[in-house]
Structure 1
Amino acid sequence: MSFDPTAVETITVDSYGTLVDPAAVETALETAIDAEHAQSISDQWRSRSLMYTMVSNFTDSYQPFYDMNRDALRVSLADHGVDLSSATIEDILSAYHDLDPFEDVRRGLEAVTDAGYEVFVLSNGNPAMLESMVETAALESVLSGTISAHEIRTFKPDADIYRHAAAQTETPLESIAHVAGPTFDVQGSMHAGMQGVWINRTDGLWDPFAAEPDLTVETFDEFATELGV
């Protein structure tokens, strides 16, 4: 399926890695541990955190994303023989409340909202995380609201979270374009019935088993152009 801008009424966007750059979290980790372990722990932390959210969808073991992330970090540190105090771990996690937006985000979304589209964050992040993200990144003017996995206690890419977004925005699934950096999120939105837009800033590879995204762009500026605004 190719992207149909004429069908789009509402836009949902992922948060971390799509709107805001999580590099500060990696920097906070690197300042707390030796360089020898930093990259491998960071990679394991990220992959384990995502694994926890997906497994929890099938095992009725939901907990807020912030807590999932804490558990994933603790296990990754322990797996590498690194012992940090609880206070230091909380300091690392707190970097999620102080992330900068990618440089194209505000400009691209201003063009979209000026054209009359409503834009909502749709995220695995719990409400407190999303509130601080929007405030710190100063995105209030280009967002109509946030929708959290915590509201229905299930994580992406479960189809229920995309259906929940459709209900919250009062928009049919097929009239929503969901923009995300993580490929599994784009796949989940398409599986649920949305148009999936992959924002591929790093020239990454698409998952070979999956149907191609409805649209691939590098920036929100390019997405605005594809919408015709």
Structure 2
Amino acid sequence: MSFDPDAVETIAFDSYGTLVDVSAVAEPLSAHLDDRDPELVAKLWRERSLSYAMVGNAIDEYDSFYEMNRHALRYALETVGADVSEDEREEILSTYHDLPVFDDVHDGIERLRDAGYDCYIVSNGSEEMLESLLEYADLGDLIEDTVSADEVERFKPEPELYRRAADEIGTPIEEIAFVAAGWWDVPGGIHAGMQGVWINRQDTIWGPYETDPDLTIESFHDLADELESSGE
């Protein structure tokens, strides 16, 4: 299905990797790694946390994404042989509460709001993580509300969270444009019934799916341009 801007009433965003830059954890990691590559550790950490979440879905076990991150950080550090104490690991883990936003986020969401679209976050992040994200990233005036995996105890890309979000938002699911950087997340939104917008921030490769993104963008301004052009 191709993107239908005329059908969009509401916009929902993923959080980590979409609104805020998870690769920024490499800087605080570097202080604890001696000569090891902090970018490699950050990548291992991120990929392992997502893997833990997806396995949790498969075996019907749930713990908050913050806990998944805690276990994944330990895995990443031990994989590279870094000797980091538990207190230091907690200090590193806390950086998830103050990740920087991407440059296009504030202005892009303001344009979408000015065009009449309410904006939400739908995230695997815990409720506490999302509260701190809104505060640190100064998004409280731009985001109507957040929907956390904690509410359904299932992680994306399982359909339950996307559908819960549509119910809470009060917009028919097919009228929600879901924007995410995750090549695994956008197909989940599409499968649940949303229009899937892939913001390819990492210049990565789409998965080997029969499903394609309804729209691929490089910044939130591209989405605003697409929606504004439909109203002309």
Q: TM-score, normalized by length of structure 2?
A: 0.95
SS at match of 1:103: coil
Task: Say whether the 8 Å CA contact 1:105–1:220 is kept in structure 2.
Answer: yes
* Percent of aligned pairs sharing the same letter: 51
Could you tell me which residue of structure 1 aligns to residue 181 of structure 2? 181
Distance 1:94 1:10 in 2: 31
How far apart are 1:108 and its partner, in Å? 0.8
How far apart are 1:83 and its partner, in Å? 2.2
**Where in structure 2 are the equivalents of 1:125-204 lying within 5 Å?**
125-204=125-204
Deviation per CA, 1:24-77, whole angstroms, max 9, x where unpaired? 312111221123243332222111110000010111221000000000111222
SS at match of 2:186: helix
SS at match of 1:32: coil
SS at match of 2:46: helix
RMSD of aligned alpha carbons: 1.3
Task: Rate the CA distance shift 1:145–1:104 in 2: closer, same or farther, 3 A.
Answer: same
Task: Say whether the 8 Å CA contact 2:26–2:41 is kept in structure 1.
Answer: no
Dislocated runs of 4+, deviation >6 Å: none
Task: Say whether the 8 Å CA contact 1:197–1:216 is kept in structure 2.
Answer: yes
Aligned residue type for 2:26: E
Task: Say whether the 8 Å CA contact 1:187–1:210 is kept in structure 2.
Answer: no
How far apart are 1:78 and its partner, in Å? 2.0
Could you tell me which residue of structure 1 aligns to residue 216 of structure 2? 216
Could you tell me which residue of structure 2 aligns to residue 120 of structure 1? 120
Structure 1 residue runs of 5 or longer lacking an equivalent are none
Aligned length in residues? 229
Aligned residue type for 2:186: V
Could you tell me which residue of structure 2 aligns to residue 29 of structure 1? 29
**Where in structure 2 are the equivalents of 1:20-59 lying within 5 Å?**
20-59=20-59
Q: TM-score, normalized by length of structure 1?
A: 0.96
Distance 2:15 2:171 in 1: 20
